[in-house]
Chains A and B, each alone.
Chain A
Amino acid sequence: MQRIGVFVCHCGTNIAATVDVKAVAEALSHEPGVVISQDYQYMCSESGQNLVKDAIKEHKLTGVVVCSCSPRMHENTFRKAAASVGLNPYLVEIANIREQCSWIHKDIATATDKAVILGKAAVAKVHLNAPLTAGESPVAKRALVIGGGIAGIQTALDIAEAGFDVDIVEKKSTIGGKMAQIDKTFPTLDCAACILTPKMVEASQNEHITIHSFSEVSEVKGFVGNFTVTIKKKARYVDEVKCTGCGACVEKCPMKKVPNEFNEGLDNRHAVYIPFAQAVPKVATIDPNYCMMLKNGKCGICSKVCTAGAIDYKQQDRFIEQKYGAIIVATGFNPINLDKYDEFAYNQCPDVVTSLELERLMNAAGPNGGTLLRPSDKTHPHTIVFVQCVGSRCDDEKGKPYCSKICCMYTAKHAMLIREKYPDTEVYVFYIDVRTPGKNFDEFYRRAVEQYNVHYIKGMVGKVTPKSDGKIDVQASDLLSNEQLHINADMVVLAAAIEPDKTARPLATMLTTQMDTNDFFTEAHPKLRPVESATAGIFLSGACQGPKDIPETVAQASAAAAKAIGLLVKNSITCNPCVAHSDELLCNGCSSCEKVCPYGAITYQDKEFRMPDRTTAIRRVASVNPAVCQGCGACTVACPSGAMDLNGFSNSQIMAEVDAICK
């Protein structure tokens, strides 16, 4: 026989003002199984909790119903109180008579009636509650960082610093990301490579960090503390261990006409390549789309010149499986494709470049060795026009609705660097607004205008037309003087909007994390949990969560690392006991539940059963892995024989609530 205690809270006047709490307690005291029904001013206060605890002990209660605020608020409080006096915490039910009754209704009579019905439904449910025990699940002491840009490197270094093993998975053949391509950084104008490459080396030399370059995440299984990830190490046709990075193969490779991605296609590389001098790992990679040996078996020069014997034309993609406790996403960004922007003649004229291309043109390690020359005729440009917000803050389908955040600052940087190095070059910047929120950012922009005489013009560029004499006509309007302008430019630089990397969307599906409409990862709370995803154990680092500059990226990377470390130091985490379970005697092994399970928590086993005629038979039955099950209940509805049920929200419990409400 159940012995149920009902405790009705006044919540000061929050509940008591519109619900007659004494009448509720009185009405519920007549429900079957209820042995005590009390009301109290503040049930969540210490004395209120003691009231509940004393009643549990005194009346040997087998179930507790608290009529109070939302279970999202105080369910845990009362569960803990019950557990402290030896009652299983899952024998406590909350009837929400504040958020879903007293706060939304004004009439005392009808609100009280509703509160009684909600209380009755909770009593009916608690009759069928079973004591549940939360399992413990061990935490794998290893973290996975997806993406090897500055965000991923910083996160990995911080986690390694705390003494945990970290793996970085980078899809390109070297870590470094976008920052490796950048020439100088704002607002200090220090050299990007000078601050990034030591960090890359530090990551490669750290005993806790393993770098999987030229690799991808191909499968993610499991849950917080216990992810199993399959990493695909793509064939690079060079043995990573044997290769010394001497570059002899690159030098001798006859296939020299491959567009160089690292220089944004502004020059060419060989079919076997090392992206840049400071690449980490410094290992050559053979591009199978261009290598003549791999395409038609004719060449093989690189294997002849390689003294280390590292070239392996027969290398295959390899898959490695590893367990991780935490996963940090640092997939970063890319500039958008400008194919749809015909008005800027990006595809027609080589002297119309994106800002990232300009970074390479100005970089000492770039195609021109740091001298700014026009890509078309290698002459020095005398007039350069910068166009801001190309695809950013755009309300049509071509572009992005958001502000890309970094363009105003890097354009000021470019303008300043050009004016510094080539004072004879006139620089025009067309902008909608100049946005400079950041430490020393506005001072930096004003220096560009005042000290370096960069012409900032408020207005959008309407059309860019390449002319036959090699010059470019830039047609624009000056919004402040309301004049139409024509500028005879030598080069045009487009500040293309940035968007999340294309690999982010399939990755989000694998990780069961959420994304916004622009494919940026969604944080668990925009203000209070900015580096966690809503999926436990998955953290966000850098521009994959939204446009960011380098200092912000590094700050978020370290924050994500701190959160991941907080998880990794635990030896085990408590599991949710409200998971599905299958009644083996009812299960007919049809696989309906397995197909709908989003977590792959259901497997099948052949089990021996004793039949009524004393023979034994082997039957295929479902079994749920309680550590993997998240308790959504999809399987319980799919099960045709009713074998599958959910702890804490069982068929009979929900039905009892339905009955109590409809009665």
Chain B
Amino acid sequence: MQVNDNNFQPVIVAFCCNWCSYAGADLSGTNRLNYPTNVKIIRVPCSCRVNPMFILRAFQKGADGVIICGCHPGDCHYTSGNYYTRRRITLLYSMLDFLGIERNRTRLEWVSAAEGAKFAATMQQFTEDVRKLGPNRRLEDLRCRKQ
């Protein structure tokens, strides 16, 4: 479903690992690099802490996009956490396909603590992509919808 509504403000949940991506997000703040207010960050110790259940919960509660950010492969503070994340998200994609939720509403990105600019650019791009997709209707619990 393509919606050309420029006023549509998607709700975007970003899960950021404490060691790389959360620090990268802080760096984009320190460098005053702008990205849309739609993005709200939740801090997790490692991207592998993100249970696919949290992503589905976000979609159920009215999120329009979910992005998971972790350390680059090989750089995980816990050695292998981001590899688990990568596998889990791949599996989640096939489930999202089955449910009919557009793949592009979920994204996995590697952002290091030094990549403040990449963080801001990624968030900008992701917000634009989700905005083009329009509101998430497929899994949304209608009881949660804002009046």
Task: Knowing A103-B32, A113-B37, say if A661 contacts B51 (CB, 8 Å).
Answer: no
Contact A662-B45, Cβ < 8 Å, known A104-B32, A104-B33: no
For the complex of A and B, the 3 pairs showing the least CB-CB separation, nearest first, are A99-B29, A633-B49, A662-B61
Chain A residues at the B interface, C-beta cutoff of 8 Å: 70-72, 96, 98-101, 103-107, 110-111, 113-114, 117-118, 121, 512, 514, 534, 578, 596, 598, 630-634, 636-638, 646, 649, 651, 654-655, 657-659, 661-663
Residue among A514, A638, A657, A661 having the largest count of chain B Cβ atoms under 10 Å: A661
The B84-127 residues at the A interface (CB cut-off 8 A) are: 84, 88, 120
CB pair B22 A72 closer than 8 Å: yes
Inter-chain contacts of B11 with A (CB < 8 A): 661-662
A sample of 17 more A-B contacts (CB under 8 A), given A100-B41, A633-B44, is: A96-B43, A99-B25, A107-B37, A121-B40, A512-B79, A598-B79, A633-B48, A634-B48, A634-B78, A634-B84, A646-B49, A649-B44, A658-B13, A661-B11, A661-B42, A662-B58, A663-B61
Task: Output the residue of A99, A649, A663 with the most chain B CB within 10 A.
Answer: A99
B54 and A630 contact, CB distance less than 8 A = no
Report the bound CA distance from A111 to B79 in whole Å. Answer: 36
A interface majority secondary structure = helix
Q: Which residues of B contact A596 (CB under 8 A)?
A: 48, 84
Known A99-B26, A662-B13: A578·B45 in contact at CB below 8 Å: yes
How many interface residues does B have (CB within 8 Å)?
44
One of A103, A636, A657 near B49 (C-beta < 8 A): A636
Could you tell me the distance in whole angstroms from the C-beta of A565 to the nearest C-beta in chain B?
A: 26
CB–CB B49/A649 < 8 A? yes
Nearest chain A CB to B96's CB is how many angstroms away?
16
Contact A637 B49 (CB under 8 A): yes
A-chain residues with CB within 8 Å of residue B37 when the two chains form the complex: 101, 105, 107, 110-111, 113-114
Is the CB of B135 closer than 8 A to any CB of chain A? no
Query: Which residue of chain A has the shortest Cβ distance to B146 in the bound complex?
Result: A663
Which residues on B sit within 8 Å (CB–CB) of A98? 29
Once the chains are docked, how many angstroms separate the CA of A104 from the CA of B117? 12
Report how far A596 CA is from B81 CA in the complex, Å: 9
- Given known pairs A104-B34, A105-B37, the reply for A632 and B120 (CB within 8 Å) is no
How many residue-residue contacts, CB under 8 A, span A and B?
127
Nearest A-chain residue to B64, judged by Cβ: A662
Cross-chain contact A106 with B34 (CB below 8 angstroms): yes
A118 B40 Cβ-Cβ under 8 A? yes
Q: Can you give 15 A-B contacts (C-beta < 8 A)?
A: A70-B29, A105-B34, A107-B37, A114-B37, A118-B40, A121-B42, A578-B45, A633-B44, A634-B46, A634-B81, A637-B48, A637-B50, A658-B42, A661-B11, A661-B40
B contact residues vs A (CB 8 Å cutoff): 11, 13, 22-23, 25-26, 28-30, 32-35, 37, 40-46, 48-54, 57-58, 61-63, 74-75, 77-81, 84, 88, 120, 144
Chain B residues positioned under 8 Å from A662 (CB to CB): 11, 13, 58, 61-63, 144
A648 smallest CB distance to B (angstroms): 8
| A654 engages B44 (CB within 8 Å) | yes
Q: CA A651 – CA B52 in complex, angstroms? A: 11
CA gap between A113 and B41 in the complex, in Å:
14
CB distance from B13 to the nearest CB of A (A): 6
Task: Tell me which residues across on chain A come within 8 A of B49, comparing CB atoms.
Answer: 632-634, 636-637, 646, 649, 654
Output the least CB separation between A578 and chain B (Å).
Answer: 7
